[in-house]
Amino acid sequence: MADDLTRRVFLGSAGIALAATAASAAPESGEGKKPGGARIIAISCSPRKGKGTAAALKECLKGSKGVGDGIETELIELAGLDIDGSVAAGVPLAPGRKDDFSSVAKKLSDPKVAGIIIGTPVYFSSMSSLCKSFIERMMVFYRKDVLAGMPVGVLAVGGSRNGGQEVTIRSVQDSLFCYDMVVVGTGRRFGAAVWAKGGVENDKEGMKAANNLGRRVAETSLALKG
Ligand SMILES: Cc1cc2nc3c(=O)[nH]c(=O)nc-3n(C[C@H](O)[C@H](O)[C@H](O)COP(=O)(O)O)c2cc1C
């Protein structure tokens, strides 16, 4: 995992303005917690703010918090943010257009971030386009190895019971392997597959898996932190 200096160099080279704060969430807990604590960030890649994916990720973060006082959590919702994947391929934004990726990148670059959970709705048995764009833009980290060695868990929320949650999880995980992240499962399952029918809270098994995923990402983060 990159040290603080590497992260600072990365921030400078990526031209990320430290004052930029457009990401749509604030820390849920842990303000003022002792230094050396670990922050787990959950990223909702649903274009619908506050819906099923966000709710299931909150359950993940409950699981993370349960691991101990040293764990801070934060939910970042990409809903409403403009994140253009083509930039990763070197296609510049139109003159005068600024998208929102740098504000999220800034949060992920904080040295306190010790683990990440990515949640996506299932769209035609795959991840949302927002999730794909986000993962493509993470390429700025790839070049600097900022995410290498960091634990990451994946959650997928579908409208059907067998709507493609598992293949969606695998697809996201495959991309994260490219970043050399430490992909963590729920314990004997490879991610949290959640069914949204009538609200994710009705899917007891799915929410249990979400909680387990958050717990295991936090436990792995602490173990790797030493
Ligand atoms: C374009 C589109 C494609 C979808 N495809 C699937 C699918 O393949 N399988 C499934 O179970 N649900 C599918 N759904 C339903 C969503 O996965 C479901 O509504 C989910 O709860 C959305 O997450 P959200 O509440 O965070 O927005 C699809 C929804 C949309 C809009």
Distance (angstroms) between ligand 1 centre and the Cα of 124 equals: 7
Segment 77-106, tens digit of pLDDT:
999 999 999 999 999 999 999 999 999 999
Give the tokens for residue 101.
């990726």
pLDDT, residue 1, reads 41
Segment 131-143, tens digit of pLDDT:
999 999 999 998 7
Distance (angstroms) between ligand 1 centre and the Cα of 156 equals: 10
Segment 177-194, tens digit of pLDDT:
999 999 999 988 889 999
The domain ranges of the chain are 39-89+112-225
Tokens 């257009």: give the residue: 97
Residue among 53, 123, 126 whose CB has most ligand 1 atoms within 8 A, to mutate: 123
Segment 161-180, tens digit of pLDDT:
999 999 999 999 999 999 99
pLDDT confidence band for 36 (50 / 70 / 90): low
Task: Determine the atom of ligand 1 nearest the C-alpha atom of 54.
Answer: 26
- Phi, psi torsion values for 220, nearest 5 degrees: -65, -40
Ligand 1 interacting residues, C-beta cut-off 6 A? 46, 48, 51-53, 121-125, 157-160, 163-164, 196
Q: Under 8 Å CB-to-CB from 185, ≥6 apart: which residues? A: 153, 191, 213, 216
Whose CA is closest to 184, among 100, 86, 118, 127?
A: 118
pTM summary value = 0.87
Residue among 124, 127, 155, 165 whose CB has most ligand 1 atoms within 8 A, to mutate: 124
Instruction: Domain 39-89+112-225: state its class.
Output: alpha beta
Q: What is the mean pLDDT of the chain?
A: 87
How many CB atoms lie under 10 A from the CB of residue 198?
8
pLDDT confidence band for 35 (50 / 70 / 90): very low
- Phi, psi torsion values for 189, nearest 5 degrees: -135, 160
